[in-house]
Amino acid sequence: MKTIPHRLYLTEEQMPKQWFNLRSAMPQQPDPLIHPGTLQPLGVDDLAPIFCTELARQELDGSTPYVDIPSEVLEVYKMYRPSPLIRAYALEKALGTPAKIYYKFEGNNTSGSHKLNSAVAQAYYAKQQGLSGVTTETGAGQWGTALSEACSYFGLTCDVYMVKCSYEQKPFRKAVMGVFDAAVTPSPSNTTQAGRKILAENPDTTGSLGCAISEAVEAAVQSGGTKRYVLGSVLNQVLLHQSIIGLESKLAMEELGEYPDVVVGCAGGGSNLGGLIAPFMADKLTGKKDVRIVAVEPASCPSFTRGKYAYDFCDTGKVTPLARMYTLGSGFIPSANHAGGLRYHGMSPILSKLYHDGHMEAVSYKQTQVFEAAILFAKRETILPAPESAHAIKGAIDEALKCKETGEAKTILFGLTGTGYFDMTAYESYLSGRMSDYVPTDADLQKGFDSLPNIPQNQGI
């Protein structure tokens, strides 16, 4: 009988040298980004004042299957990649399941998450373009930390607008960004016109990713051309860079003679999920394999499971292009007690299209359920997971328990996006019994839906 190791590392030579563009395998492309005034599809020249030119090209490219990873990016990747594929033997035993559970662990770098995969790429392209720096937003802080690290490496300034409630709850995330010389501002702030407008309308707001995006985009556009805006999730370019997660996962499973029956990923804006599933979804779309893809999101921010598939702004200030996606409305602000990350009001256009066309499933969980799963995992597998990752853990556990009921020995793969050592306030809240669940009512969600842009594509939703 073949012995399956607890963890498998690919060699540096085996690490993929190209990113995979999932759109090239899709039978129907996601709807294009459009101008909110003209409702016409945007081109590279339209996006260039906001994004780096090469990233704008990647954003709009739906046909190129593989994109070469620049050698300078590969050199940084080699500092922490390939990341391990781990068999969760102890978790399997604790659950008493015949299922085989694997997870791809992306937390073995200073930023503590998968976000560094795209941060390095985006910082590199900004440097190549001769820019002085970039602006961005961050929610839980993983993306801000990763981008700060990447910008420091390439000698760029990094202006981070951090969702106010996270800024207050996670001071050590801010401190790590400071180590890498980032300027961190709680959002909404009085430093931008968008921030001042939001504060005037709601002085006590705890902020949202949509608010922070508005401020970051404004700061980039008003930099006199010296900076560009970068985003850590949602966009097509980000899912392209994150495809290295899925490519490595597939290669490692092939080394073990395995292929997943179910792939489970946490879903906020879609960067981790899209990267993890990319090659497996391509196999599904082309008829090579019939794998189930399950997205897991928080019940307090349920864009997949309760959102509308519609064109919407990517930000609260309504200064960004319109994207067709599953959305709760750009003005949606998650409850302040929500501690599990995955706070964005919309979902990646790529993933939204795949979900809308029936190629993947979605489920939501309350945060106390998620933290319960996180602690079980930590006790058994000795890694304290990021709350975002814990959503995927909960989904994988439920899939494994279904196998326990049916006796099926399915192979389950999930993405462990990062570690939870900067999330101890949330863990302490759960352990002390102070954590509560909030699930928005239909009336709560309707407020966001009422703010959707009044354009033809949104009629009848």
pLDDT tens-digit map of 341-390: 787 899 999 999 999 999 999 999 999 999 999 999 999 999 999 999 99
Residue 89, Cβ density class (10 Å: 0-12 exposed, 13-18 middle, ≥19 buried): middle
Please report the pLDDT score of residue 1 as a whole number. 40
**Paired tokens of 137:** 């937003």
> In the structure, what pLDDT confidence band is assigned to residue 78 with cuts at 50, 70 and 90?
very high
pLDDT of residue 459: 66
Q: Sorting pLDDT into bands at 50, 70 and 90, what band is 338?
A: low
Q: Cα separation of 296 and 274, whole Å? A: 12
Contact at 8 Å (CB) between 309 and 349?
Answer: no
> Which band of pLDDT confidence, cut at 50, 70 and 90, is reported for residue 216?
very high
- Residue-wise pLDDT for 157-203, tens only, equals 999 999 998 888 888 889 999 999 999 999 999 999 999 999 999 99
pLDDT bucket at 316, cuts 50 / 70 / 90: confident
* Cα of 26 vs its chain's centroid, Å: 20
Q: What is the pLDDT of residue 337?
A: 64
pLDDT at 461: 60
Scan for tokens 């980000």, then name that residue.
Answer: 238
Q: How far is CA 248 from CA 8, 187, 327, in A?
A: 11, 36, 30
Structure tokens at 111: 């930023």
Query: What dihedral do alpha carbons 78, 382, 178, 183 form, nearest 10°?
Result: 90
Question: Is pTM beyond 0.85 here?
Answer: yes
Contact between 230 and 134 under an 8 Å Cβ cutoff? The reply is yes
Asked if residue 4 has pLDDT above 90, the reply is: no
Token representation of residue 457: 């594509």
Q: Which residues contact 151 (CB under 8 A, 6 or more apart)?
A: 119, 123, 133, 134, 157, 158, 180, 181, 182
Per-position DSSP letters for 381-397, written without gaps between them: HS--B-HHHHHHHHHHH
Q: pLDDT band at residue 455, thresholds of 50, 70 and 90?
A: confident
Q: State the Cα angle at 97 between 93 and 100, rounded to 5°.
A: 85
Tally of residues, the chain: 461
Degrees, nearest 5: CA angle 324-326-330? 80
- Show the tokens assigned to 340: 């599990």
CA 373 from centroid of its chain's CA atoms: 20
Structure tokens at 304: 């997949």
Helix (H, G, I), strand (E, B) or coil at 121: helix
Q: How many CA atoms lie within 13 A of 40 on its CB side?
A: 4
Where do the structural domains in the chain lie, given as residue ranges? 7-14+81-112+235-458
pLDDT at 460 over 70: no
Q: What is the CATH number of domain 7-14+81-112+235-458?
A: 3.40.50.1100
Is residue 2 pLDDT above 80, yes or no? no
Strands in 106-166 per DSSP E: 133-138, 157-163
Q: What is the mean pLDDT of the chain?
A: 94
Radius of gyration from C-alpha coordinates of the chain? 20
Phi, psi of 173 (to 5 degrees): -60, -45
The whole-angstrom separation of Cα 60 and Cα 58 is 5
Edge to edge, what strands does the sheet with 7-8 contain?
7-8, 85-87, 100-105, 411-416, 262-266, 292-298, 361-365
β-strand partners of 161: 137, 185
